[in-house]
Amino acid sequence: QGTAGAAFARTGMASLLALAESACTARDESAAFETLSQDEAREFEAIAARILPTTDTPGAREAGVIWFMDKAFGSFGAEWFADAKMGLAEFQAAVASEFPGAGRFSDLDESDQDRFLQTQQESGFFQLMRTGTILGFFCMGSYGGNRDDIGWKLLGLSGGHASWQPPFGYYDAEYVSQNDVQGERHGE
């Protein structure tokens, strides 16, 4: 079974998130963050928005990744919050040294943000932000991100992708048209 392969894939990732129940509270646009300070939220969101930027399609910002992070760092990912805070402090110090007087990362323009992130790609903090961004972009909306299924829609998945019918893709459609596989096609 693929679980061994999945285990292999998870190596090093399972530890990124602590294990706890996550309450699925309703999102409220006007609500304050429960876990993050305004400064943390602003910086984390700015980083997430460069990892999955807004282009001709919505990005991390529109998907509400920051709300996922707020929930994660307050519950199942709480054990990583201290690392995130410490990492942000170092990150901001490096921004201040690279761009004197420019303020915070979120104050930089996008090209400066990208140039700076190029220098941070190997850091644990960046990897944590990247993991949080991806999980927030693609995991179920009940965790605060993936608003309006923005993450799934990017990949061509619709809705909750509850069930599908063949043909599933180009090559099985081609196969069925070339082979006598009625039984398989229709599950007969």
Stretch 13-32: interaction string toward other proteins, x if CB under 8 A: xxxxxxxx-x----------
Query: Whose structure tokens read 């999945």?
Result: 6
Binding of other proteins at residue 115 (CB under 8 A)? Answer: no
Binding of other proteins at residue 159 (CB under 8 A)? Answer: no
Binding of other proteins at residue 111 (CB under 8 A)? Answer: no
Mark the segment that binds other proteins (CB under 8 A) among 36-44, 82-90, 101-109, 162-170: 162-170
Binding of other proteins at residue 90 (CB under 8 A)? Answer: no
The DSSP result for 139-180, as a single string, is S-GGGS-SGGGHHHHHTT--TT-----S--SHHHHHHHHHS-
In the bound state with other proteins, the residue whose beta carbon lies nearer, of 68 and 88, is 68
In the bound state with other proteins, the residue whose beta carbon lies nearer, of 32 and 82, is 82
Binding of other proteins at residue 94 (CB under 8 A)? Answer: no
Query: Which residues have C-beta within 8 Å of that of residue 106, sequence separation ≥ 6?
Result: 42, 43, 45, 46
Minimum Å gap between C-beta 68 and other proteins is 9
3-state helix, strand, coil in the chain (%, to 5): 55, 0, 45
In the numeric block, which tokens belong to residue 78? 């709480």
Question: In this structure, is the dihedral angle defined by the CA atoms of residues 45, 50, 54 and 59, taken in order, positive or negative?
Answer: negative
Binding of other proteins at residue 184 (CB under 8 A)? Answer: yes
Rg (CA), the chain: 20
In the bound state with other proteins, the residue whose beta carbon lies nearer, of 37 and 179, is 179
In the bound state with other proteins, the residue whose beta carbon lies nearer, of 67 and 137, is 137
Question: In this structure, is the dihedral angle defined by the CA atoms of residues 131, 136, 140 and 144, taken in order, positive or negative?
Answer: positive
User: Is 13 in a helix, a strand, or coil?
Assistant: coil
How many residues sit close enough to other proteins to count as binding (CB under 8 A)?
70
Query: Whose structure tokens read 């901001």?
Result: 92
Binding of other proteins at residue 156 (CB under 8 A)? Answer: yes
* Interface residues toward other proteins, by CB under 8 A: 1-20, 22, 50-53, 55, 57, 59, 76, 114, 117, 121, 130-131, 134-135, 137-140, 142-143, 151-152, 154-157, 160-166, 168-172, 174-176, 181, 183-188
